[in-house]
Structure 1
């Protein structure tokens, strides 16, 4: 079982003739991501740096649409220039190619300004706007976040000393916590964008100012301070951004995917899977990260949470592959709970979960129970906030 869902890359053509690579994952209501500066497909297909929120959103029933902006990743690499108008042309091309009349729109980091402007230009197409660790004023962004400031302060050596520049930037983005991880990130940056394209995009980002546009946003908007992001502390930028948008909601969270899903589904009846669960004897699989407190201290809180979210997506994929049903709700610890009709399927899923934990470097003992409803399991079910199956060991 692979921890990464492989996207099928397709191409859209912008109105100025640029080929933009895009991909979709999952089924359900669409959510479109305005890409970050290195390209979202490029980051996703790199095992170390794929966006940690894509898998969890797919698991929650969203069709996730993401792409590489011009000059980056798998998109047309000789089409440089990351000014806001060109970013919007890329977004428009992808939206038309996927054929979604109405969708949720999300801008993370440097993808935020294009999402803001598009939501004002085409409010009839945007059901919800989600802005994560992003900005409306580029100069303020580059001044407020120390790791981003490094990209500005070392700009003069970027083209001539590209490897050194990317290593310095990657270490800053990784909070100088792990030089090996930073080395791999630097290699990912160099593979995804040329020095000249990076300089053009960085300079264009710093010139962006859409502050006056914020008061015209009329779609439901969630502004997120994602505390799991290692780039820096976005709390002040995020709260200021939210205060400038009419009726915007603000949240600080370590689980952006969950916060976005709850916001976009607000007012809907909560989904239920009770009718899909097996009747009579059932097999329960519970997989939980071992010694998570020590791992958090060793890896750092942000790195641990990122790995845990990615592992959660891999476990749920393994459960689905073996015909199990992951139970949604508030669970104890960092675990995943699932129900199976077949002991063989549950055991195969448990083995796959164990392998996924080993690959992620997070020890993952998995336990199975079999039986019918009983008081002991009802107590665990109540503690987890579950409303479904109860069993006995």
Structure 2
């Protein structure tokens, strides 16, 4: 089942900018990424997805890929966009989604764009939040906290030699230095987000950016967040911004990671939510233990092609009717549906397993086969939805299931001891985007 938000395109001049919209809160938040991004592949990393979902819990979150990166149109490396052109891209995306005014949350290289947009378009900027960013990254006699040319050139060499292999993970996120799954995701993200030539050209451009002359012209509410031991953008950059943007709030948080979504990311999110809404709503009471069930139809694409649209939609209606009857029977709560599958939550793992088995048996009379995954863990409550790493694990477990199989995590197996449900050991598995190995079990007899 696909839980990635729909990607659309906004026209900015002769360029198409990929964007997504998540959530429906009263406030619009435009998230301005760092030097590379990929709006779809980002959701494969549970910690990054958590960051986005938390923002979307109190706002309508607007994500986009800058031109030349991710799913937006590529551009020749000799014609990389200026900050002014990228500012036009932000405005084009806002126009496409009908956003008259938004708060801009920018990270790393996205910070200068936040600053320029807020100063130039205060009528369309509700607030600015900048995380781990700078006015000028390059060293100069009047910017001694900047990075010297020889250090930056050495960085460029490392990027050219290792791009697409997970280069610089230990620099961007020391906390993930020994995390093999995170390195594999970061390597894949690099390959999908930009080519080596594009990255090198962008990094050279970043070194030339200097927004110091316009800092005093910023007149919208501004929050500056920086980790005290950030290895990529030292704390002095954040302090400089705080001293030169009128009325800016400045919060220093412990940590070494430059990546905003690693380490104690919720500390960032707490500050952002309180700054933009006046309160913090994602407290511990908004986290619950839940069992999640993901199930989808096996071979749905081929079956749809065989039947044609009309008959396929009739069959889907029958499938969802059967699934919903069993959800009601076993006290499950439907969270989401997408095409050929569904996502539900339960307050007990045994009921989730029995429900999955009942759905599998019930739809066989329709000529359908399903595969399902079940996991129990702490989930974030976001209105009528739930999210968090436990949800991602449940989806990944389902992805490992064979046709007709209900697959569960070791956590679920241990929790249903004595229930009369038997299991077959399926061994340890690496789950995409989830650290470590996970022992999985196929459900056998359900008594």
Give the TM-score category using the shorter length.
0.5 to 0.7
Cα distance in 2 for residues equivalent to 1:353 and 1:118: 43
Instruction: Specify whether residues 138 and 232 from structure 1 end up closer, same or farther in structure 2 by C-alpha distance, changes over 3 A only.
Output: closer
- 2:61 counterpart residue number: 64
1:35 aligned residue (33, 36, 39): 33
Structure 1 gaps of 5+ residues are 273-283, 289-320, 325-343, 368-393
**Contact residue 43 and residue 49 of structure 2 kept, 8 A:** no
Shift in Å, 1:41: 1.0
Instruction: Specify whether residues 94 and 70 from structure 1 end up closer, same or farther in structure 2 by C-alpha distance, changes over 3 A only.
Output: same
Cα distance in 2 for residues equivalent to 1:37 and 1:113: 11
Cα distance in 1 for residues equivalent to 2:153 and 2:40: 23
Cα distance in 2 for residues equivalent to 1:200 and 1:246: 32
- 2:51 counterpart residue number: 53
Aligned length: 295
Instruction: Choose 248-257 or 22-31, whichever is displaced more.
Output: 248-257
- 1:190 counterpart residue number: 191
Shift in Å, 1:70: 1.0
Instruction: Specify whether residues 102 and 195 from structure 1 end up closer, same or farther in structure 2 by C-alpha distance, changes over 3 A only.
Output: same
1:265 aligns with 2:277: yes
**Contact residue 83 and residue 205 of structure 1 kept, 8 A:** no
- 1:174 counterpart residue number: 173
- 1:86 counterpart residue number: 85
- 2:377 counterpart residue number: 354
Instruction: Specify whether residues 82 and 45 from structure 1 end up closer, same or farther in structure 2 by C-alpha distance, changes over 3 A only.
Output: farther
Cα distance in 2 for residues equivalent to 1:185 and 1:271: 31
The secondary structure found in structure 1 opposite 2:42 is: helix
**Contact residue 43 and residue 50 of structure 1 kept, 8 A:** no
- 1:202 counterpart residue number: 203
Aligned alpha-carbon RMSD (Å): 4.0
Shift in Å, 1:182: 2.8
Instruction: Specify whether residues 205 and 232 from structure 1 end up closer, same or farther in structure 2 by C-alpha distance, changes over 3 A only.
Output: closer
- 1:139 counterpart residue number: 138
Instruction: Specify whether residues 183 and 354 from structure 1 end up closer, same or farther in structure 2 by C-alpha distance, changes over 3 A only.
Output: closer
**Contact residue 138 and residue 146 of structure 2 kept, 8 A:** no
Shift in Å, 1:251: 1.2
Higher Rg of the two aligned structures: 2
1:155 aligns with 2:153: no
Cα distance in 2 for residues equivalent to 1:63 and 1:144: 36
Instruction: Specify whether residues 217 and 346 from structure 1 end up closer, same or farther in structure 2 by C-alpha distance, changes over 3 A only.
Output: same
**Contact residue 70 and residue 79 of structure 1 kept, 8 A:** no
**Contact residue 45 and residue 185 of structure 2 kept, 8 A:** no
TM-score normalised according to structure 2 size: 0.57
Shift in Å, 1:62: 1.0
1:256 aligns with 2:268: yes
**Contact residue 174 and residue 182 of structure 1 kept, 8 A:** no
**Contact residue 109 and residue 135 of structure 1 kept, 8 A:** yes
Shift in Å, 1:77: 1.9
Cα distance in 2 for residues equivalent to 1:150 and 1:52: 33
The secondary structure found in structure 1 opposite 2:186 is: helix
TM-score normalised according to structure 1 size: 0.64
1:287 aligns with 2:321: no
Cα distance in 1 for residues equivalent to 2:82 and 2:47: 25
Shift in Å, 1:167: 4.0
